């Protein structure tokens, strides 16, 4: 599972001109579900997001979403799994089929809510327009496989445990 996490002062998503989800201060999560991802991956993603200290406090990266009263806007984005290696047209062989992907995005949302966070969502499978004000800018790429965080911010980053 690959998630792009952006710290935002506000974010919203529209479908056919209607706002279907919006937040003020918090995190926009663009979630891509890969073939083979599991409930454990979705839960580990939510745990890491809920525990991640990426808001300023005593230091620039000191406080969690809950500590700043932040919310999450979760938007599914299969294009995060695109392969750009061959030709000029993206390939999506690594992206999970819509039905199982939607279930796993729902697990991420439920787990974030269970962690006490307010969560808004996009609409799975819809043509969405996402607007955001990136705060910082602060943007991370979170990779989770086998129920474990395998990378935070990119493939060269060291393994990061899911506990804080």
- Does the annotation mark 54 as catalytic? no
Is 153 within a domain? no
Q: What is the pLDDT of residue 130?
A: 98
Containing domain of residue 115, as a range? 2-139
- Does the annotation mark 129 as catalytic? no
Is 26 within a domain? yes
Q: What is the pLDDT of residue 153?
A: 65
Give, in order, the Cα–Cα distances in Å from 20 to each of 16, 76, 99, 132, 143: 10, 13, 20, 14, 27
Catalytic annotation, pick one of 79, 129, 153, 164: 79
Note down pLDDT in tens along the chain; length 164 residues: 999 999 999 999 999 999 999 999 999 999 999 999 999 999 999 999 999 999 999 999 999 999 999 999 999 999 999 999 999 999 999 999 999 999 999 999 999 999 999 999 999 999 999 999 999 999 999 999 999 999 866 444 444 343 43
Distance CA 11, CA 16 (A): 17
End-to-end CA distance of the chain: 20
Catalytic annotation, pick one of 77, 121, 124, 140: 77
Is 151 within a domain? no
Catalytic annotation, pick one of 54, 55, 78, 124: 78
Report how many domains make up the chain.
Answer: 1
Is 152 within a domain? no
- What the block records as the tokens of 81 is 């799994």
Is 123 within a domain? yes
What's the CATH code of the domain at 130? 3.50.80.10
- Does the annotation mark 78 as catalytic? yes
Distance CA 37, CA 100 (A): 9
């Amino acid at each position: 599972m690959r998630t792009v996490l952006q710290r935002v002062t506000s974010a919203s998503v529209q479908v056919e001109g209607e706002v279907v989800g919006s937040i003020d201060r918090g995190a926009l999560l663009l979630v891509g579900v890969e073939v083979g991802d599991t409930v454990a991956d979705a839960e580990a993603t939510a745990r890491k997001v809920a525990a991640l200290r990426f808001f300023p406090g005593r230091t620039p990266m000191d406080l969690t979403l809950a500590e700043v009263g932040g919310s999450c806007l979760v938007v599914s984005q299969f294009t995060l799994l695109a392969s750009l290696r061959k030709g000029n047209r993206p390939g999506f062989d690594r992206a999970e089929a819509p039905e199982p992907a939607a279930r796993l995005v729902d697990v991420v949302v439920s787990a974030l809510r269970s962690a006490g966070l307010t969560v808004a969502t996009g609409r799975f499978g819809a043509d969405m327009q996402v607007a955001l004000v990136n705060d910082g800018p602060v943007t991370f790429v979170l990779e989770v496989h086998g129920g474990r965080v395998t990378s935070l911010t990119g493939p060269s980053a060291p393994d990061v445990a899911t506990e804080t």
